[in-house]
Amino acid sequence: MSGQAPVSLDQALERLLENAAPLAGRETLPLLSCLGRYAGAGITASLDIPPFDNAPLDGFALFHGDLEGAGENTPARLKVVSARYAGDPPAKALKRGECVRIMTGAAMPEGADCVAPYEATDNGEEYVKVPFSLKAYQNYRRKGEDIKAGQQLLAQGDCIGPGSIAALASQGAASLAVYPRVKVGILSTGSELVLSSEALGGGALPAGKLYDSNRALLGGRILELGAEPCFAPAAPDDAAALAALAERLLAQCHGLITTGGVSVGDRDFMPEVGKRLHAEALFRGIAMKPGGWATAFLAGGKIMLCLSGNPGAASMTFDLLGAPLIRRLGGASAVRPVWRPVVLKTPPPVKAGGTSRYMYALDEGDGARLITGGFHGAQAGADTIIHIGAGAACLGARRLGAFFAPQRDF
115 located within any domain: yes
Tell whether 224 and 352 lie within a shared domain. Answer: no
38 falls within a domain: no
- Whole-number Å distance between alpha carbons of 65 and 134: 8
Among the three residues 290, 306, 329, which one is the final residue of a domain in this structure?
A: 329
Domain count, the chain: 3
- pLDDT over threshold 60, residue 300: yes
Among residues 69, 104, 130, the one where a domain terminates is 130
Of 142-151, 170-179, 226-235, 281-290, the range with the lowest mean pLDDT is: 226-235
352: pLDDT strictly greater than 60: no
As a whole-number percent, the residues of the chain with pLDDT over 70 amount to 90
Q: How confident is the model at residue 354 (pLDDT cuts 50, 70, 90)?
A: low
Are 173 and 154 within 8 A, CB to CB?
no
Q: Please, which contacts does 97-103 make with residues 24 or more away whose CB atoms are closer than 8 Å?
A: 97/66, 98/62, 99/60, 99/61, 99/62, 99/66, 99/128, 100/60, 100/61, 100/62, 101/60, 101/128, 102/55, 102/58, 102/59, 102/60, 102/61, 103/55, 103/58
Other beta carbons less than 10 A from residue 255's beta carbon: 23
pLDDT at 375 (0 to 100):
62
Task: Say how far residue 320 (Cα) sits from the centre of its chain.
Answer: 15
Q: Is the pLDDT of residue 183 over 70?
A: yes
Pairing of strands 356-363, 340-341: unpaired
- Asked if residue 272 and residue 219 are part of one domain, the reply reads yes
Q: Would you state the pLDDT for residue 409? A: 36
pLDDT at 408 over 60: no
Pair (296, 318) in one structural domain:
yes
CA–CA distance, 68 with 377 (Å, rounded to integer): 62
Clarify whether residues 344 and 318 are in a common domain.
no
In this prediction, residue 405 has a pLDDT band, given cuts at 50, 70 and 90, of very low
Average confidence score pLDDT of the chain: 90
CATH number for the domain that contains residue 124: 2.170.190.11
Same domain, 251 and 202: yes
Does one domain contain both 189 and 320? Answer: yes
Mean pLDDT across 196-218? 78
pLDDT tens digits, one per residue of 369-388:
888 766 665 566 788 999 98
Residues 364 and 299 in one domain: no
Residue type, 295: T
The answer to whether residues 297 and 375 belong to one domain is no
Asked if residue 164 belongs to a domain, the reply is no
What is the arithmetic mean of pLDDT over 316-323? 95
191 with 325, same domain? Answer: yes
Which structural domain range is residue 207 located in?
Answer: 9-24+183-329
Percentage of the chain exceeding pLDDT 90 = 69
Query: Are residue 315 and residue 197 in the same domain, yes or no?
Result: yes
Average confidence (pLDDT) over 273-281: 96
User: Taking the mean position of all CA atoms in its chain, how far away is CA 402?
Assistant: 3
Asked whether the predicted pLDDT for residue 273 surpasses 60, the reply is yes
Above 80 in pLDDT, residue 137?
yes
Q: Considering only CA atoms, which of 80, 20, 93, 111 is closest in space to residue 330?
A: 20
Is position 152 within any domain? no
Q: Are residues 192 and 115 in the same domain?
A: no
Order across the sheet with 228-231: list the strands. 228-231, 183-188, 255-259, 302-307, 295-299, 280-284
- Tell whether 218 is covered by a domain: yes
Residue 3 has pLDDT above 80, yes or no: no
pLDDT attached to residue 353: 61
